[in-house]
Amino acid sequence: MRPTLPATLLLSALLAACVSTKDVPVNKNISQNSQLKVHPGLVGQAIPAELQTDMRPSQPNVAPDLGATTGSTRTPSRPAEPGAQPAARSIYFDFDSASLKGEFEPVLQAHARYLASHPKAKIRVEGSADERGSPEYNRQLGLKRAETVRQKLIAQGAQEKQVSARTLGEARPKQAGHDEQSWAENRRADLVYEAEH
């Protein structure tokens, strides 16, 4: 054995024993002046209020008048003029569900009142689904949603002959996209008034 090998091993062992194990302090204020920025929560910093998101819906999920051309389709409905057709025309559903949400009760009541006071008015309920699921399953789910809304309108005062139901399945998405926001917009039943005779 060469004399330098044991000396090298001994020196390496001594140096390893002298290494400090103190924690290196983390810089809590990482500068983000470059073009690439990291969310503060990912680097252990407090998240500023403007970056915090609330996962609860901030407003009811109702669509404005179909003739409106504003950006978002989920805005609170504006009060309708007396005797006018209600402005909100979409009823939204949870994933894989045809059960009505309580937040849409006032919308359906308003449409039922309008139909009851306008016996010649007719409405078509068009049920839709998001793109997940087979086309046949989505057609069936869309029809269940349309029938649920139709039955609710009739129970609240509309005449059976005034309300029809059909399914669109996934054929007419309101919002193109392959994310939860798009899917939520597409899980709906739209209320379409036909011309009064």
Instruction: Give residue-wise pLDDT tens across range 127-169.
Output: 999 999 999 999 999 999 999 999 999 999 999 999 999 999 9
> CA separation (Å) from 156 to 11, 25, 78, 183?
89, 66, 21, 29
Q: Show me where the domains of the chain are located.
A: 90-194
In whole numbers, what is the pLDDT of the chain averaged over residues?
76
SS3 40: helix
Q: How many other C-beta atoms lie within 10 A of the C-beta of residue 56?
A: 5
- The pair phi, psi for residue 91, each rounded to 5°, is -115, 125
pLDDT at residue 59 greater than cutoff 90 = no
**Angstrom distance (rounded) from CA 192 to CA 197:** 15
pLDDT at residue 16 greater than cutoff 90 = no
Residue range 90-194, CATH number: 3.30.1330.60
Report whether 165 contacts 149 (CB < 8 A). yes
pLDDT at residue 64 greater than cutoff 60 = no
Strand partners, 166: 126
- The pair phi, psi for residue 164, each rounded to 5°, is -115, 160
SS3 13: helix
**Angstrom distance (rounded) from CA 104 to CA 145:** 13
**Angstrom distance (rounded) from CA 167 to CA 189:** 9
- Confidence category of residue 88, pLDDT binned at 50, 70, 90: confident
Check residue 132 and give left, alpha or beta (phi > 0: left; psi -120 to 50: alpha).
Answer: beta
